[in-house]
Amino acid sequence: MGTSLKARWAAGEVTLGAWCMIPEPLTAEALGRAGFDWVLVDMQHGCMDYETALAMIRAIDLTPALPIVRVPWNDPGIIGRMLDAGALGIVIPMIQTAADAKRAVDACLYPPKGRRSFGPIRVGMRDGPGYFMDANARVAVVPMIETPEALANVEEIAAVPGVDALFVGPFDLSIALGLPPGDNDGKPAFDAAIAKVSAAARAAKVATAVLSNAKVAPLRIEQGFQMISTTTDITALSMAARSDLEAVKAAGKKES
């Protein structure tokens, strides 16, 4: 496997990724071969179950990209299963407090840094007997900041030992701020929230992460984000299909 995201963030690098909503290993592999640093399997809002997510991780492992999973909830059972499946980073939604973040860290890391149970069946086949010794240094723990309570507690969340990045969820965060879901840059409340998360991350010496797109991602790079998604599989497929269809229709009109 390539250099961990944690190591790349510590070196000041920006890592760009793609987001999987479609429950299909071949799609995940295609994204991994497209040149992204990481590919995320979204078990919160995506359409995949555990067995499909496992197959998608295995498909990503065939590529240079690193497999990341957003779990449905801050639950040690599914977090442990996805790590044992081979995920090298866990994005945890709806973290509200430092105590929530500590529970996420405990689920992601082996003792003494956490409370993860040992049983790396599939990932042990991939990485060999040395997996246990390196796992805590390689697995990225990434709580999401997307509610008013999380914003109020963001400094304490960032300071929890074992947290590696704060992930801004722009849709839920916008809704929480009374704005429509999406990127609301230029709206004072949204800009202030981004600035607060970024400041908390810098103070704690952790990275910032965000769901984004090709249009907004350059701004996020300027803002110091180091884990940035630039597309989702369903968006990329829909846009490419629509673009090709419109191009053929336009060509047909010119010939007629």
Where are the extended beta strands (E) located within the chain?
A: 15-20, 38-42, 66-70, 89-92, 140-145, 165-168, 207-211, 227-232
DSSP symbol at 109? S
As a residue count, the chain comes to 256
Both tokens assigned to 16: 């760009």
Q: Are strands 66-70 and 140-145 parallel, antiparallel or unpaired?
A: unpaired
Structure tokens at 185: 């840059």
Q: Which two tokens stand for residue 241?
A: 């299909």
What residues are annotated to the active site? 45
